[in-house]
A and B are shown apart, each in its own frame.
Chain A
Amino acid sequence: MSARHAPLWPVWLMLLLAAMLELLPLPGGLSRLGPPWTAMVVIYWALMWPGRVAIGTAWLAGLLLDVLQGSLLGQHALSLSVTSYLVLRFHLQMRIFPLWQLTMTVFCLLLLEAFLRLWIDGVAGDARAGLMRFAPAVTGLMVWPLLMALLDRSRERLERRESRFT
């Protein structure tokens, strides 16, 4: 229960790293399969530290992604804040899910996030590549357990360090 005072800058560092990972060019046809790192990191922290990392953080991270990727300003911001709201809403249920069930829930959230962006693009008049848009969510589904293990470790370290000092 020490999440309340743990420093927030590591979370921001992770979000920056995630945004950079999304910009990393993957070879050839793989580039369309790059997992939505930022969305996954946002989901993780909204799940684990819901009182601290929530809609506002998600919105800012989305805005960063919009600037970096040159998409419509506010597009990722909207989709990520809606996603983080859902996580916030159901975090108590989601936390007691077994890993496979949590992974499936995250997959659904990633699909929803991709769908929101597709929808916005549709309204703005440039919807394209229909099904390929959901490919990153599938890759996200595959890397989620790994990412979660990695982030769990750093979160535990953060919380432990904090409790040592207070």
Chain B
Amino acid sequence: MSVFKLSRRDFLRVSGTAAGGVALGVMLPAGNATAGHSEHFEPNAFVLIDSEGNTTIHCGRCEMGQGISTALPAAVADELEADWSRVTVLQADGDSDKYGPQATGGSRSINTMYVPMREAGASARMMLVTAAAKIWQAEVDDCYAENHFVYNRKLKARLSYGELAAIAAELPVPEKPALKTKDQYRYIGKPLPRHDLGKVVVGERTYGIDTRIPGMKFAAIKHVPVYGGSVKSFDASEAEAMKGVEKVVNIPRFQAPYGSLGGIAVVANNTWTAQQALAKVKIEWDRGPHGGYNTNAYKAAMVEQVEKPAKPVFKRGDLKAAFDAAKVTHSATYVQGHLSHSPMEPMVSLVSVTEDACEVWASTQDPEGIQRTLGAYLGRAPKDILVHVMISGGAFGRKFKCDYVQEAAALSQAVGAPVQLAWSREEDTKTGYYHSTSVQHLEGAVDSEGNVTGWLHRSAFPTIASTFDPSIEWPREQELGAVINHPYGIRNLEVESGHAPAHTRIGWYRAVRALFEGFAFNSFTDELAYQSGMDSLEFFRKLYHNNKDPDQAEQVERSLAVLELAAEKGGWGKELPQNQGLGIAVHYSFESYLAMVVQVEVIGDDIKVHRVDCAVDCGEVLNTDGATAQMEGAVVMGMSLALYTEISFRDGEVVNSNFHDYPVLRTSEVPPIINVHFAENDYKATGLGEPGVPTFAPALTNAIFAATGKRYRSLPIKPVYS
């Protein structure tokens, strides 16, 4: 890791302020970054202090509600010994050379950027201290930084950061900045509020959809309803005659992973006119090769497939012998449907394409993806696409894919003006990138002492890889890694996969495969415990203790720790009123460890969750309130997908359209008590955007089983289109 000082030209260009400041960047060695979808490996980010002491910290990662634009800048500010009230956080434009990998997904922001951000702050602090020592002609060791000043112990004097900025800017950047120890933290590990809360409550936080520039037009779109289909013909005469309509545009499918599905769009002088005109365009579709996709039939076919031998992927030991010698054997099949992310802000961007420039304002998780996709679409260098990263009104993985940005670019080209395209909720629901539907068939063998001696795990799901390469019709080995690297100590293990060609676009959804892996692992463990006549917690303990693989020692230790913490806090084993039950689940994903105990009451069809206790080990916690909020949100999203959310296809088209038939959790059903308990340890900080979700559904269904004896193996429990 090396730290470099930006050139004066860069500093001026970025800051736009008068001279006399210190600007620092941070560079990671190539190969350290793990942004799976990035082509760039030169992260950097920086601090800026002007001569007044006003401090700007750029957040290179994309903000979508997860709080990264507070967590990372606060880590910088802490090491910098900055006064947080003097800090302005700015969302960085897309520029991976300057800010490092900006693709924000996989709960990787904290994992990859926490230490570099601290080093950026510490470097700046050391330079400010050195500058003060120079002025005083004092020893650096006699000087220290505190809350936006540098003090001299001997002289009993102080200089403000503003006074020091110009001198500090001339100093060499320290090779190895000294980081604070835990007891010196000012902001890290505290419940620091989001930096722009005040703007939210007065409606001044601007999201992608709020971008306004002179001369802009507004657009609405209707996509090809079936994946791979196209516009056969359309009649726009009535629409084009409407007052305020600029143009009706046929956007062909752009065959790139993040390209448009294709459709008809209307550009007009306001959104309403565009929507009204779009409804008047008569369109005939060519339905393409996927017009036969019916999810209920597809799931049934996948179930049939995994309930008999499938394609072997991994094998150890002698599974047959384990089953022959078992005291208890049991099998179960778990099924989950497609999910739509449905962030409150739909897909939206504003794009201006001119002959020599392309400027984008987008709610996005991946500015580099926009640069690549628009670069390919427009035939320009990715670097020539200027992307302003706007705050997303929720994203959950959906805004990683920039089809909506490419469409806005096509429209801007068509009308020769900047165009903002905002999808309707119906388009968001019907033409997304869906979380894969999945089936998993598990068979287990348990010996007379309650040890699981054999485990068969057959999975079938259309894979995300199919979005990038449609010829991929089976889950790949690496996508079964969480099963192959089984968390439990299982001597005899077989993993198989089933054929699952995709008939729609499959994409990352918050927690990705961990959603169904966590459901299957935890449900089946609870089932095996019951079949063996054992307490579930005791059974979980045994399974983890049986894992003696030294490579998994840390995973075992940390999984057990959160399991015990959740059990203790959630009152595992306590007496409950009639119709109530407790369920427990534990899962490791995205380098963080989660366990939950859910307390449920079931009367008839009414499922009421009274309480959830979450035990979280994400290593060092940067912001206790932010982390708690992530868990509260994970419980709510977990409950939505456990109870209600499923995207259903009939004849190739999504049946659902809006929140009435894609119902998400509303306030009356939210568990009134959601307790979040953090494991205390010194492990490195890891992300928490995704790992909170997978444990909720199985903890809930395990709790329902405890309360009623009814086992739900198919999610959602209350599908709209069954």
A and B co-occur in one complex: no
- B: residues with CB less than 8 A from A are none
